[in-house]
Structure 1
């Protein structure tokens, strides 16, 4: 009976020493992050978060970071969004390691509607403003036919002429889309 007790005590001491040696190699921040989250977090850069955020602007950045901490891969996280349509929200323990910023939205991205953000929402300029077509839109000249818009472009000799031709086709497409939208609005207003 005494030998059994000696074997059990020796086994417990060996296990204790083994655990002490294996956990002392990790840095304290990694150990606490792994203990807090329940997994060892992978390195995540802001570029990785921005890449997914640009592809899927409706996914919250905290969900993106949490999934990237788990997978460590932009591709795996993107595939998960494409397959499921969402990413799991992080647990409350996540916010002890990665507290929310006072201004979570990156510059240039509007805050979600109904959000808690008190800052003013920056709106994107319309296509008319972006391509400086205000004068042409205000003229409301003859309607642009579908043949003019979708017709084949003529291959120009120089890159400058091709660029000018492309700009003009873009302008025609934008103005035609505006005309269709205004006609649709008038139609819905009369009915």
Structure 2
């Protein structure tokens, strides 16, 4: 097989408890996790694992596993069937809030993955707060990578440099409808 993820994270799914109510599902989940941990699963097996987790009541684990591997396993149809567009809607709202909060225009550079997008800005009005960096042209990568956190990595736009100074990077989390600095990267 030419692909596979290194491990299947099934979150807090309790296979022992599941085995008491649905031993067949528990065995199949364990088998599929074992395949994924070895990188030997097919696309259908990964999608089956996500479906089984969902059906077993582990919707959070199912959603996160499927979201992080959606493009690789061609799981868009299953994702929409099981989870609808809630995460996409949250992600889109977070990007709109970023534009509004920081008064920046975002120009799409790349669709890196499902719910991972990279934009660039021309800068915003001059700032003197924790977001001063946004006054300059920046690259902003938004990602809904963690289970419940939308983040933005902001870097001073300078395609000729790979290394950044501490004041040329920010990590932001979208919390309660507002973008907040988690910590300046590298500080």
TM-score, scaled to structure 2: 0.28
Give the structure with the larger helix fraction.
Answer: 1
- Structure with bigger gyration radius: 1
